[in-house]
Amino acid sequence: MTDEASGQHAPANRRRWLICGLLFVATGINYVDRQMIGLLKPTLQAEFGFSEVGYGDIVFWFQAAYAVGYLTFGSFIDRLGARIGYAAAFGLWTFAHLLHATVQGVTGFAAVRFLLGLGESGNFPAGLKAVAEWFPAEERALATGIFNAGSNIGAIVTPLVVPAITLAFGWRAAFLVTGIVSLPWLVVWLWAYRRPHRREAILSVAVVPAPAPADKLTWRAMLGMRETWGYALAKFLTDPVWWLFLFWLPDFLHRRHGLDLKSFGPPLVVIYVLSDLGSVGGGWLSSRLMKAGASANRARKTAMLIAAIAVTPIMAVQWVDGLWPAVLLIALAAAGHQAWSANLMTLPSDMVPQRALGSLIGIGGAAGAVGGMVMTQLTGHLLESTGSYQLIFIGAGTLYLIALACLHLIVPRLRPITEPDQPQ
């Protein structure tokens, strides 16, 4: 590319990285809004007196809406485009977040959490759509990785900011302040984002243009593929553990180690910082193995096996007396989950044709949310009857090895296929 051409395309280059930054910030806001209910659980239970099952119902309805939204938001955003589609998703979840400040009791919280789940389910479909519109093929993975990192940043910010607002002004103010502060993002997004008028301005820096998407496979065809079932089952079994961390971890630290709003911050920051390292390390490991000559099948499953083993020590966390040894066990499990997830999320591109990629990701995301719903109900009932997380963490520590065994039995070799009924 000539210097003149580089100068002509510089504004487009700057704009797309501005858009990537906005996606990063929005994903962080998404996780702040999502995680606040778990952080405030002891406070809300003290005020409203709802049971563990009642809290489980509140989380359940968020996950139910998230599962439905994951299956439907992609086509909605395809019709409206990334600019309006993302704005609609952000506006819906922010409105639902603000409504938290007005509700009373389990029914009210379940209703606003359902609305929040619908809106938040659009974050990743819209973000990936924006990346596809603005970034050339060889930069999309980097851009996606950057905006996805906002999830852990949001999980780190929440225990640092929300307790301070709550202690000073009350929990209702925490929902109002965090919701209002996020609204300028929507204004900047609508101002900054536009679909590129000239595709050549983006493709000029690409090695090759992205191929036009082929027609989607039918749902019937997708459900006839063993790859669909292997991926969905792995998501169903292991995504719930991450939901467990997001929605129940502050309660565990409160019950077992006496933490409160004043002291949640440092332990949760350590846990989510180390989970970020696990995400990067898990992706690096499988890539390193493939560069050394390993097949995708061997590299992915080896990395997933190591990640699954890293989660297993969490089975003992209920019996650990010291706070920081317990925090480190939880952090190891969180890092193991993120390393596992970094590889699991690559499997669709390893296995299925391009036209099936979005559908498989949607099915897997919905399966993970349904698994989270099951975990939520089970957790609520176990806490109600036993008052202990012992059985919950034992289950969490074994699910990854079970999921890997199931994945290997269903899809013994990860390899690209060209037709849904192609024999393995």
What CATH number has the domain bearing residue 356? 1.20.1250.20
Least reliable range by pLDDT among 139-148, 251-260, 369-378: 139-148
Q: Is 219 a residue whose pLDDT tops 80?
A: no
Q: How far apart are CA 128 and CA 83, in angstroms?
A: 12
Which pLDDT score is estimated for 4? 41
- Which residues, 6 or more positions from 233, have their beta carbon under 8 angstroms from its beta carbon? 367, 403, 406, 407, 410
Domain membership of residue 63 (yes or no) is: yes
Mean pLDDT calculated for residue range 31-48: 90
Structure confidence by residue, pLDDT tens digits, 364-416: 888 998 998 899 889 988 998 988 899 999 999 999 999 999 999 999 887 77
Which pLDDT score is estimated for 175? 96
Which pLDDT score is estimated for 287? 78
Q: Is 262 a residue whose pLDDT tops 70?
A: yes
Q: Is 354 a residue whose pLDDT tops 60?
A: no
Q: Is 25 a residue whose pLDDT tops 90?
A: yes
Which pLDDT score is estimated for 344? 85
Which pLDDT score is estimated for 152? 79
Domain identity same for 349 and 397? yes
Domain, as residue range, for 282: 217-424
Structure confidence by residue, pLDDT tens digits, 265-278: 899 989 988 987 88
Which pLDDT score is estimated for 347? 81
Domain membership of residue 210 (yes or no) is: no
Q: Is 87 a residue whose pLDDT tops 90?
A: yes
Q: Is 314 a residue whose pLDDT tops 90?
A: yes
Domain identity same for 222 and 190? no
Domain membership of residue 374 (yes or no) is: yes
Give the residue with greater pLDDT, 301 vs 246.
Answer: 301
Decide: 202 and 12 in contact? Cβ < 8 Å: yes
Looking at 204, 234, 265, which one is the last position of a domain?
204
Domain identity same for 1 and 50? yes
CB-neighbour burial class of residue 255 (10 A; exposed 0-12, middle 13-18, buried 19+): middle
| Confidence bin at 85 (pLDDT 50/70/90) | confident
Mean pLDDT calculated for residue range 106-122: 93
Domain identity same for 182 and 319? no
Domain identity same for 258 and 308? yes
- The count of structural domains within the chain is 2
Domain identity same for 164 and 239? no
**Helix 171-192 vs helix 150-169: crossing angle, to nearest 10:** 140
Domain membership of residue 212 (yes or no) is: no
Domain identity same for 179 and 248? no
Looking at 204, 238, 271, which one is the last position of a domain?
204
Domain identity same for 199 and 266? no
Domain identity same for 395 and 359? yes
Domain identity same for 309 and 424? yes
CA distances from 400 to 162, 236, 312, 370 (A): 32, 11, 8, 17
Domain membership of residue 82 (yes or no) is: yes
Which pLDDT score is estimated for 197? 60
Looking at 204, 231, 262, which one is the last position of a domain?
204
Domain identity same for 149 and 95? yes
DSSP type of residue 315: G
Q: How far, in whole angstroms, is CA 203 from its chain's centroid?
A: 29
Domain membership of residue 6 (yes or no) is: yes
Which pLDDT score is estimated for 204? 36
Domain membership of residue 211 (yes or no) is: no
Total-model pTM: 0.77
Which pLDDT score is estimated for 119? 93
Q: Is the dihedral of CA 56, 265, 119, 277 positive or negative?
A: negative
* Spatial CA neighbour of 104 closest among 20, 31, 21, 48: 48
CB-neighbour burial class of residue 353 (10 A; exposed 0-12, middle 13-18, buried 19+): middle
Domain identity same for 182 and 244? no
Domain membership of residue 23 (yes or no) is: yes
Structure confidence by residue, pLDDT tens digits, 175-209: 999 999 999 999 999 998 877 665 434 443 433 33
Torsion of the alpha carbons at 122, 128, 130 and 134, rounded to the nearest 10: 180
Q: How far apart are CA 414 and CA 71, in angstroms?
A: 24
Which pLDDT score is estimated for 271? 92
Q: How far apart are CA 311 and CA 111, in angstroms?
A: 33
Which pLDDT score is estimated for 144? 64
Q: How far apart are CA 339 and CA 274, in angstroms?
A: 11
Q: How far, in whole angstroms, is CA 416 from its chain's centroid?
A: 25
